[in-house]
Amino acid sequence: MSVTTDSGPFRGDDPRVRAMGEGGGRDGEFPRVTRSRRNTLWSGIGALVVVVIFATLPYTTQPGVWAILTQGLIILTLASMWNLLAGYAGLVSVGQQVFLGLGAYFILIPNMHGVSPFAALPLAAIGAAVVAIPLWWLVSRLRTAYFAIATWVLASAVALFVQQFQSIGGGTGMPLQGLQWADTNLLSADTYWVALAVAVLAIGGTYLLLRSRVGLVLTAIRDDERAARSSGVRVGFARALVFIVAAAGCGAAGGVLAIQQVAVSPGAGGVFDITWTAEMAFAVIIGGLGTIEGPIVGTVVYMVLFETLQHYNAWYLIILGLVAIGVTLFARRGLWGTVEEKFGIRLLPTGYYLWSPAERRRRIGRADRG
Amino acid sequence: MAWVNAIIQGILTGGLYALFACGLSLMFGVMRVVNLAHGDLATVAGYIGVGVIAAIHVPFLWSIPIVVVIMALLGYVLQRTLIQAAINRGDLTTLIVTFGLSMVIENGLLQFFTANSRGIGVNQSIITDSFSIGSQIQIAWLDVIIFVLAVVVLLGLQYYLSSTKYGRLIRAVADDREAAQLSGADYRHVFGIAAAIAFGTVALAGTAYGMTTTIDPTTGTQTILLFAFAAVVIGGLGSLWGTLVGGIVLGVAQEIGAQINLSWELLAGYVIFLVVLIVRPQGLTSRRAQS
């Protein structure tokens, strides 16, 4: 029997693992621990190829395509961050739009002093992360559902507070300066590349974070918080870290959004709109909570719905909401989670796979024959 | 005198906020469900009220019991189907399902009834009449009626839960579902009844709000849910009496904020919410710390 373990603390060089193999002696008797059943080199190369293909799209396709994809990449970044929060740290935030909005404002404010919006993008991430620290201090007092609404209330409060300042546009917002380029195609291509870079960083960052020690802690929390806590896992620290990282990611996405819209508007349908959180959350739920691939799959579903239904006003959100409710009730692990469960595929493995001696022998034997 | 006026108006508005919070508090207390669609359901109640008045031409006050009954039935059905299914699957699912419901309702209203705002019983004498104390304080009868209604509903509910047979059953199920089940109570039905009562108060809240100002599809999330939640947190989780106190504190804070600067009305309410969250996270009236 082989055991798939996500939270398994066994590494190949772990003395416990070695001890298991010591009874046998022959090489095949050794249980081996790898990240995945399959060789991950191919999915790594695949990911690289996909990124390269996406990066060259502005040379091969029409501007309309990149504009749509920019929107998708913003949602993808947001969804990856929300997945980190809800899927791993158990923090269901309904107020992530606050960091999106703050990110946009951290582009706008330097821009008013002459800084290029593209150059200010790191500021959007850092600024949102810094603001997240006091906000975390406030909301970390509450759990689960109350945490959810508290983030919502805080988001509204921050949005209202920002709108008090007439110098940064008050309640109506402001256009960005220095983006009135003669070549609009170049601007939209640059926006697309920036959106792609942010999305790749968000997913890559999530992947690396989850493979680190903190990732082990996070998977332990995801699987059973009480057990993790009683084993001495620093749940509070890991949660705070995730909250801040997610704020940075959403801030960067907000910066990209501001560049895409060439303006920042805080009102209805603007950067502080709850719809953003609904979209990122539903994308994650549909794709699969607690997997890295889930938000990607969910974003594709979101984009298909959005593109086919966007001329029917609010219908895409109604259907997205209904699909999310249906998935969460009847396919808890989402589309990707279901596929993963059925076929054992992990394109971006963050857990460990424990090979039993018997299975390893079979595999070695197959390799000899083939 | 302006300050006295602000405090009086704030207390009266607080009654409305307590009414908002009542259903949220009850559903959390009994089923441990925080209904993120709470505000949108109140908005739906308001729209049903508008529809009932337009469709069957009853005197507009008669529409209120009709809306309450419709919402109570809806509450029972929703609880027995969607919400129960979510509860069986855990906290996260409950949050996602009610959040999904919230977005579906809000955008559904937007799609079918446009973004236009609507009022209930516009120009009726009961809504426009007011009386004066001295020369500067003018109090709307409607605000007084809503405040009294809120107090009656909250105290009535408190009495119902503590002193009637079915109320005790609800509390028993809330305390220990399995033990109540062993004693022959069908907890799902009890949950359904509790949800029906909660939705009845939600109907009152939505209708009352539609009378004092107007409602539009975003009212539920941007006003009712957030104010209800702020009132619950300020007052203390899981206490109906605390909910009334929380609503009044929120209302007074908003009116005083508006008195200082008109655009600070909402912000002042949130500031009080944050101060309570920092200084007394268990709420003003609750003695034990929140676990």
CB contact under 8 A, A153 and B273: yes
pLDDT band at B1 (very low <50, low <70, confident <90, very high): confident
Domain assignment present for residue B29? The answer is yes
Q: Exposed, middle or buried, B3 (CB in 10 Å: 0-12/13-18/19+)?
A: exposed
DSSP helix/strand/coil, B65: helix
The strand order across the sheet containing A32-34 reads: A3-5, A352-355, A32-34
Chains A–B, number of C-beta pairs less than 8 Å apart: 123
Find the CB nearest A324 among B36, B100, B271. Answer: B100
Q: How many residues does chain B have?
A: 291
- Test B104 with A268 for CB contact under 8 angstroms: no
Confidence label for B146 from pLDDT (cuts 50, 70 and 90): very high
Mean pLDDT of B120-129: 78
Residue A9, pLDDT above cutoff 50: no
Q: Look at residues A333, A251, A324 and name the one whose alpha carbon lies nearest to residue A77.
A: A251
Region of poorest pLDDT, from A46-50, A330-334, A343-347, B106-110: A343-347
Q: What is the ipTM of this complex?
A: 0.89
Select the residue from B91, B92, B224 to test the A interface by mutation, using most A Cβ atoms within 10 A: B92
What domain count does chain B have? 1
Q: Strands A174-175 and A263-264, how do they pair?
A: antiparallel
Among A residues 93-152, those touching chain B with beta carbons less than 8 Å apart: 94, 138, 141-142, 144-146, 148-150, 152
Alpha carbons B177 and B164: distance in angstroms, whole number: 19
Nearest CA in chain B to A156: B222
B89 touches chain A (CB under 8 A): yes
Looking at beta carbons, which residues of chain B come within 8 Å of A314? 107-108, 110-111
Contacts of A146 in chain B (CB under 8 A): 34, 233, 237
Residue of A nearest to B36 (CA): A149
Question: Is B114 an 8 Å CB contact of chain A?
Answer: no
Contact B281 A141 (CB under 8 A): yes
Residue A129 — very low, low, confident or very high, per pLDDT cuts 50/70/90?
very high
| Nearest-Cα residue of chain A relative to residue B86 | A329
What pLDDT, in 10s, does the model give residues B20-31? 999 998 998 888
Banded pLDDT at A355 (limits 50, 70, 90): low
Amino acid at the residue B87: I
**Does residue B121 surpass a pLDDT of 50?**
yes
The structure tokens 């559903």 sit at: B27
What CATH number is attached to the domain comprising B99? 1.10.3470
- Cβ of residue A59 closer than 8 Å to a chain B Cβ: no
pLDDT, residue A24, reads 44
Q: Residue B25: its chain A contacts at CB < 8 A? A: none
Residue B43's domain comprises 2-279
Query: 3-class DSSP state for residue B283?
Result: coil
* Residue scoring higher pLDDT (A267 or A346): A267
Chain B's closest residue to A134, CA to CA, is: B278
B36, B83, B99: which to substitute to probe chain A, counting the most A Cβ within 10 Å? B99
Dist. CA A82–CA B274, nearest whole Å: 24
B218 in contact with A at a CB cutoff of 8 Å?
Answer: yes
**B233–A146 C-beta distance less than 8 A:** yes
Cα B41 versus chain centre, distance: 10
Beta strand pairing call for A3-5 and A263-264: unpaired
Give the separation between CA A109 and CA A101, rounded to whole angstroms. 12
Range A250-259 average pLDDT: 96
Distance from CA of A82 to the nearest CA of B (A): 13
CA atoms within 13 A on the CB side of B11: 9
User: Of the candidates B97, B263, B281, which has its C-beta nearest A325's C-beta?
Assistant: B97
Comparison of pLDDT for B207 and B56, the residue scoring more? B207
Confidence label for A225 from pLDDT (cuts 50, 70 and 90): confident
Give residue-wise pLDDT tens across range B6-45.
Answer: 999 999 999 999 999 999 989 988 888 889 999 999 999 9
Eight-class DSSP state of B83: I
Q: Does A285 touch chain B (CB under 8 A)?
A: yes
Partner residues linked to A263 by β-bridges: A175
Please report the pLDDT score of residue A5 as a whole number: 44
